[in-house]
Chain A
Amino acid sequence: MNSSTVLKELFIKQFHSFENTLNGEKELPLHQIRKDAIKKFSALSFPSIKDEGWKYTNINPLLSKTFKPADSIPEIDPEFINKYLFDKKEFVTLVFVNGYFSKEFSESDSLPKGLILETISEAIKKHPELVLTYFSKSASSEKNIFTALNTAFANHGTFIFVEENAIIEKPIQILYVTKADDIFVSPRNLFLVNKNAQVKIIETYAGFGDRSYFTNQVTEFVINDYAVVEHVRIQDEQLNAFHISTLSVALEKSTNFSSYNINFGGSFVRNNVNAKFNGGFAECRLNGLYVTEGTQFIDNHTSIDHAKANCLSSELYKGILNDSSRGVFNGKVFVRQDAQKTNAYQQNKNILLSNDAIVNTKPQLEIFADDVKCSHGATVGQLDKDQLFYLKARGIQEKEAKAILIYAFASDVVHSISILQVRDRLESLLAEKLL
C-alpha cells in the first residue's frame, strides 16, 4: 500500500470509531450525510501533481503523516487565546479548542436581535430543516476529497443565521485553536444571510505546541438578495501545521460580498475560495494576502463563476515570500454566455525577498459572453529599486527602508476592512512580521 492508501484507510477506520461516539446522534439526518461523505471519500483519490488543480501542490508531506481525531479539550493558556480575540464587548465571540466549543472563552450569551448563532451540532437538533436545506450544498463532497473528509467528520463548527432585514452591527468572531498533538480537526461552518441583512464575520485559525496537526476546514455561505457580508479569514496556524480549507459562497441577486483571506502560518496550506453569482447585479470582492518564510508552502485557489449578468467581481491577492518558502496562486474567472455586462478584474502581485523563494501564479479568464469588461494580471518581482534608493537618500537605513516598502505593499490588502479593530490588529501583526 502506498502512503496515500494508508492515510485513507486510517481516516476510514477512524470514521467508524467516531461514529460509535455519536450515540443517539447517529439517528439524526446529518449522520446520513456523513455516511454518504465517507463513501465518497473512500471512492475518491488524493490529488497528485498530475491533477491540473494540484500541479504545483504536492500533498506528499501530508500523506506521510498520521493523524488521530481530536477527542478532548487540552489545557490551554488563556493568554494564548486572548492574543487572537478582539474586544468581547464589541464582538460576538466564539472559541473552539481542538474543535470543541469552549464556553469558558466564548461570549455569545446576549445575541443581537435577528441573529441565530449555534454550534453546528446544536443547530442540527434545533433547526434541522434549515440546516439540511443548505448543508453540504454549495461545498459539495462529489469531487473534492478534502470536503468529503470534512463532511464525514462534521461535528464541530458554527451555524449562523441572519434574519431578513437584520443588520448585525457587532462583528462575529470565531476562533479555532488547535493543540499540535498529531491530531486532525474538521471545523465546519454554515452561514445563512437572509434578504436585506448585513453581517461581518471573522474566522481565525491558530495553533500551539510543537508537534504537527491537520486542520481540514469548510465554510459554506449562502447570501440572499440585497444582503451585505464582510468576511475576514485569518490563518495563523502553527508552523508545523497542515491546513486545507474551502470557502464556498453562493451570491444571490444584488448582494455584496467582501472577503479577506489573510495567511501567515502553516507549513502546508491550501485554500480554495469559490464564489458563484446566482443572481444579477451582485458584487464580490476577493482580497488575499500570504506572508511566508522558512519552508512554508501556501496555495490559494480561487474561482469566481459569473453565471448571471450585470455582476462585478474584483480580486486582489498579494504575496510576500522570504527564504525558501513557496506560494501558489490560481485564480479562475468564468463568464458564462448569459453573463453580459460582467465586470471582472483580477490581480495577483508577489514580492520575492530571497533568491530561493518561489511563486507559481496563474490568473485565468474564461469568457463566453461578448459584452463584458475583464482584466487580469500577475506580477512577480523584487522591491522597486528607485523607491528603495529614494528612501535611503533621505537617510533611512536599508533594512528599515525595505521594511517600509514591504509593509506598504502588504497593508494595501487590509486597508479596506471596515472593522477598525480587525484592520488595526492586522496592520500591527504585519508590522510585527515585516518591520
Chain B
Amino acid sequence: MIEIKNLHANIDGREILKGINLTVNKGEVHAIMGPNGSGKSTLAQVIAGREDYEVTKGEILFNGKNLLELPAENRACEGIFLAFQYPVEIPGVSNTTLLKNALNSIRKYRGEDELDAMEFLSLVKKKMSLVELSEDLLRRSVNEGFSGGEKKRNEIFQMAVLQPKLAILDETDSGLDIDALRIVANGVTKLKSPENATIVVTHYQRLLNYIIPDFVHVLYDGKIIKSGDKSLALELENKGYDWVIEEAAELV
C-alpha cells in the first residue's frame, strides 16, 4: 500500500529523517517505536504532507502514486489519515462542519456523489457509538474545551467517518487513562479490515496490548534500526531502548 524509500527530511535546515525504508501492505498493522526525538512524529507528519518539513531525498509511493507530489489535502483524499498527537482546537468551526466538508471533499475527489444532510447524519450517528461520544459533540467546536481523552476519541471518530486506507496514529495513547485507552483501541480495532492498514506511532508498549501489531520497528536518530514482530515491543518494554541502539551501533 505504502512504500517509503530512503526518505530524508529536514526542518529548519536540520536533518530529522535520515533514510527511512518502510513498506506497509493492505491488512497490516505496523508499530513504530523509539525514544523521544528519534523522528517518529516527523515521519507521521511528512507522510501526511506537513509543509514545514522539507523532503531532501527519497520517495513515498502510495498505491503506486508519488505521494510527495500531492498537497496534504489530496493525500487525505487518496486515503491517508493522520490522527494527531496534539489535535488542534478550532473555535467557531463545528465538528459537523469539519466532517461534512471533509467527507464531501474526499467523495468529490474520488468522483462520488456528495452526501446529503440526512445521509451524512445517519452515517455520523452510526460511527459515534464506536468511540462512545455523545451527539452534542457534533454541534461543538472542533476540540474546543475537550479533555485530552475526548480529543483523542474525536480523532478516531473522524477516522471512522472518513474511512481511510492508511491510518497513522501519532502517539494516540499519550495522555489517556486506561478507560479512554481501551475505548480508543477498541475503535481502531473495529475499523481494521483486510483492505486497510494502520501505522501506530508510539513511545510505549501499552497501546500495543490492544492494537496488536504485525510488525514493530524501532526508529532511532532518523533511521529504522531494528524491525521485528510483536514480541519486539514487549522486549523493548522490559529492557528499554539502549540495547537496540548499542546493537545497531556495533553493526555500523
Q: Enumerate chain A interface residues (CB-CB to B < 8 A).
A: 384, 386-387, 389-398, 400-401, 404-405, 407-409, 411-412
In the bound complex, residues from chain A placing their C-beta under 8 Å from that of B101 are: 391, 396, 400, 404
B72: interface (CB < 8 Å):
yes
Contact of B71 among A390, A398, A408, A412 (CB under 8 A): A398
Q: Which chain A residue shows the least CB distance to B90?
A: A387
**A411 B72 Cβ-Cβ under 8 A:** no
**B84 A408 Cβ-Cβ under 8 A:** no
In the bound complex, residues from chain A placing their C-beta under 8 Å from that of B77 are: 395
A412→B144 CA distance, assembly (Å): 14
In the bound complex, residues from chain B placing their C-beta under 8 Å from that of A411 are: 92
In the bound complex, residues from chain B placing their C-beta under 8 Å from that of A396 are: 73, 98, 101-102, 105
Q: Which chain B residue shows the least CB distance to A412?
A: B92
**A390 B49 Cβ-Cβ under 8 A:** no
A135→B49 CA distance, assembly (Å): 63
Count chain A CB atoms within 10 A of each CB in B92, B99, B106 and give the residue with the most: B92
Contact of B98 among A386, A389, A394, A407 (CB under 8 A): A394
B82: interface (CB < 8 Å):
yes
Contact of A390 among B81, B90, B91, B105 (CB under 8 A): B90
Q: Which chain A residue shows the least CB distance to B107?
A: A395
B50: interface (CB < 8 Å):
yes
Contact of A408 among B48, B93, B99 (CB under 8 A): B93
How far in angstroms is the closest Cβ of chain A from B88?
5
In the bound complex, residues from chain A placing their C-beta under 8 Å from that of B71 are: 392, 398
How far in angstroms is the closest Cβ of chain A from B151?
11
Interface residues on B, range: 20 to 34
A387→B98 CA distance, assembly (Å): 11
In the bound complex, residues from chain A placing their C-beta under 8 Å from that of B88 are: 384, 386-387, 390
A407→B48 CA distance, assembly (Å): 25
**A404 B73 Cβ-Cβ under 8 A:** no
A405→B93 CA distance, assembly (Å): 7
Q: Which chain A residue shows the least CB distance to B50?
A: A389
11 contacts between A and B (CB under 8 A): A390-B84, A392-B72, A393-B48, A393-B75, A394-B99, A394-B102, A395-B77, A404-B97, A404-B101, A408-B90, A409-B92
A386→B101 CA distance, assembly (Å): 18
Proximity bits, B46-67, A CB within 8 Å = 1, else 0: 0011110000000000000000
Q: Which chain A residue shows the least CB distance to B164?
A: A395
In the bound complex, residues from chain B placing their C-beta under 8 Å from that of A395 are: 73, 76-77, 102-103, 105-106, 109, 162
A20→B95 CA distance, assembly (Å): 63
**A408 B91 Cβ-Cβ under 8 A:** yes
Given A390-B87, A393-B82, A404-B101, CB of A398 within 8 Å of CB of B92: no
Given A392-B71, A392-B76, A394-B162, CB of A412 within 8 Å of CB of B91: yes
A407→B101 CA distance, assembly (Å): 14
A391→B102 CA distance, assembly (Å): 8
How far in angstroms is the closest Cβ of chain A from B139?
13
How far in angstroms is the closest Cβ of chain A from B220?
26
Contact of A393 among B72, B141, B142 (CB under 8 A): B72
In the bound complex, residues from chain A placing their C-beta under 8 Å from that of B93 are: 391, 404-405, 408
A384→B88 CA distance, assembly (Å): 10
Q: How many A-B residue pairs lie within 8 Å, measured between CB atoms?
A: 75
A391→B162 CA distance, assembly (Å): 13
**A405 B72 Cβ-Cβ under 8 A:** no
In the bound complex, residues from chain A placing their C-beta under 8 Å from that of B97 are: 404
How far in angstroms is the closest Cβ of chain A from B37?
20
Which chain B residues numbered 19 to 59 have a C-beta less than 8 Å away from chain A?
48-51
Contact of B158 among A387, A389, A394, A412 (CB under 8 A): A394
**A393 B49 Cβ-Cβ under 8 A:** yes
In the bound complex, residues from chain A placing their C-beta under 8 Å from that of B158 are: 394
Q: Which chain B residue shows the least CB distance to A385?
A: B52
Given A389-B50, A404-B101, CB of A397 within 8 Å of CB of B73: yes
In the bound complex, residues from chain A placing their C-beta under 8 Å from that of B48 are: 393
A222→B43 CA distance, assembly (Å): 63
A400→B72 CA distance, assembly (Å): 14
In the bound complex, residues from chain B placing their C-beta under 8 Å from that of A387 are: 88, 90
In the bound complex, residues from chain A placing their C-beta under 8 Å from that of B141 are: 408
In the bound complex, residues from chain B placing their C-beta under 8 Å from that of A404 are: 93, 97-98, 101
In the bound complex, residues from chain B placing their C-beta under 8 Å from that of A398 are: 71, 73
Contact of B73 among A384, A392, A408 (CB under 8 A): A392
A263→B237 CA distance, assembly (Å): 60
**B105 A400 Cβ-Cβ under 8 A:** yes
A387→B84 CA distance, assembly (Å): 12
Q: Which chain B residue shows the least CB distance to A394?
A: B102
In the bound complex, residues from chain B placing their C-beta under 8 Å from that of A407 are: 92
How far in angstroms is the closest Cβ of chain B from A134?
39
**A391 B98 Cβ-Cβ under 8 A:** yes
Q: Which chain A residue shows the least CB distance to B78?
A: A395
| A-B contacts besides A391-B90, A393-B81, A395-B162, 8 pairs, CB < 8 Å | A389-B51, A389-B72, A393-B48, A393-B76, A395-B77, A395-B109, A396-B105, A398-B73
A395→B97 CA distance, assembly (Å): 13
Q: Which chain A residue shows the least CB distance to B97?
A: A404
Q: Which chain A residue shows the least CB distance to B86?
A: A386
Count chain B CB atoms within 10 A of each CB in A389, A391, A395, A412 and give the residue with the most: A395
Which chain B residues numbered 87 to 134 have a C-beta less than 8 Å away from chain A?
87-88, 90-93, 97-99, 101-103, 105-106, 109
How far in angstroms is the closest Cβ of chain B from A223?
31
Q: Which chain B residue shows the least CB distance to A403?
A: B101
In the bound complex, residues from chain B placing their C-beta under 8 Å from that of A409 are: 92
How far in angstroms is the closest Cβ of chain A from B16?
17
Closest 7 CB pairs of A and B: A408-B92, A395-B76, A394-B102, A395-B106, A392-B73, A392-B72, A386-B88
